[in-house]
Amino acid sequence: MTRHAGFAAIIGAPNAGKSTLVNALVGSKVAIVSPKVQTTRMPVRGVAVKDETQVVFVDTPGIFKPRRRLDRAMVTSAWTHAGDADALVLLADAQELTANPKGRAADDTHAIIKALKDDGRKAALALNKIDGMKRTDLLPLVQALTAENTFEQVFLISALKGDGVADLFAWVQGKMPEGPWLYPEEQAADIPSRLLAAEITREKIYLRLHDELPYASTVESEKWEERKDGSVRIDQTIYVQREGQKAIVLGKGGATIKIIGELARKEMEEIFGRRIHLFLFVKVREDWAEKKEHYTEMGLEFPPDE
């Protein structure tokens, strides 16, 4: 049988469940997830194979009205990946859009639909988080979002529980062009281990810390040292923007960073399948979000001053 392979980009407003969906489609954790908006900062590729088709799913940062430089880079990168994809899926949070039809997520979602329409870009719409929702609440939403005729198909899914995910996969699979596979047979993710390790720690920061702190912080893996016994020593620095934020990340007597470190280490051990010795440091680097190197590392373009 002839082989097919290509890219499928998942786009949507922040917090729609894009990373959760990519993990579900790929069948392993390649992208970090949190209840907070703007968790994903860079595109992450996860690979799935069905029959003779290889699909490279691209998890993208949420699309919203950007303000900071990092926001602008994130949104640009999401649109770039949408443009390059063989299949495009717009994911929307059905719970949020039903509860707040005039809220921020609804605004962002409508703006994305308008941009797709202006571009004449065909896509599938996937309404996510239908778990716990009534069908009667979903219908008006489907009608409101499909009135513009932008979508080839509409899927009702729960990325978390798995409902509808196989149908969506089948649609994406059908869009993949004929050609050789893009990644080796067993590869599930295309993200360097050091970067994934940094992302895992960042996820724990998003889960444990609140207000502006997650947005003011970034994580870098400074050292990755293989040990003779098969374990790895990883040294990471959490950069924050102000002295006061450093104290919050550390917590009383170092309690907060200890919890973040334990959660991150456990997950790294699971994902990398080996023992990890994780050392976390916190430093103030006021302008990390203004430094070009930082963007390059994450695979983002450095946007010019506004």
Residues that bind ligand GTP (CB under 6 A): 12, 14-20, 33-35, 37-40, 61-62, 128-129, 131, 158-160
**What's the distance, Cα to Cα, between the start and end of the chain in Å?**
51
CB 74 within 8 A of CB 301: no
43 binds, among ligand GTP, Mg ion, none (CB under 5 to 8 A by kind): none
Q: Which residues fall within 8 angstroms of residue 181, CB to CB, at 6 or more apart? A: 3, 5, 49, 54
16 binds, among ligand GTP, Mg ion, none (CB under 5 to 8 A by kind): ligand GTP
Quote the least distance from Cβ 12 to ligand GTP, whole Å: 6
Closest by Cα among 154, 155, 153, 156 to 134: 156
Quote the least distance from Cβ 98 to ligand GTP, whole Å: 13
Closest by Cα among 128, 136, 187 to 162: 128
40 or 221: CB nearest ligand GTP: 40
95 or 236: CB nearest ligand GTP: 95
Quote the least distance from Cβ 33 to Mg ion, whole Å: 6
Quote the least distance from Cβ 160 to ligand GTP, whole Å: 3
CB 201 within 8 A of CB 265: no
Strands 123-128 and 87-93: parallel
From CA 23, how far away is CA 80, in angstroms rounded? Answer: 21
Closest residue to bound Mg ion by CB: 40
Burial grade of 146 (CB within 10 A; 0-12, 13-18, 19 or more):
middle
Closest by Cα among 173, 166, 123, 171 to 6: 173
Quote the least distance from Cβ 14 to Mg ion, whole Å: 8
Residue 245 binding Mg ion, by CB under 5 A: no
77 binds, among Mg ion, ligand GTP, none (CB under 5 to 8 A by kind): none
Site for Mg ion in 13-32 (CB under 5 A): 18-19
Quote the least distance from Cβ 63 to ligand GTP, whole Å: 8
CB 210 within 8 A of CB 255: no
Quote the least distance from Cβ 144 to ligand GTP, whole Å: 20
34 binds, among Mg ion, ligand GTP, none (CB under 5 to 8 A by kind): ligand GTP
Taking CB under 5 A as the binding criterion, the range among 37-45, 171-179, 190-198, 210-218 that sits at the site for Mg ion is 37-45
5 binds, among ligand GTP, Mg ion, none (CB under 5 to 8 A by kind): none
Residue 60 binding Mg ion, by CB under 5 A: no
From CA 234, how far away is CA 292, in angstroms rounded? Answer: 24
Closest by Cα among 187, 164, 109 to 141: 109
Residues that bind Mg ion (CB under 5 A): 18-19, 39-40
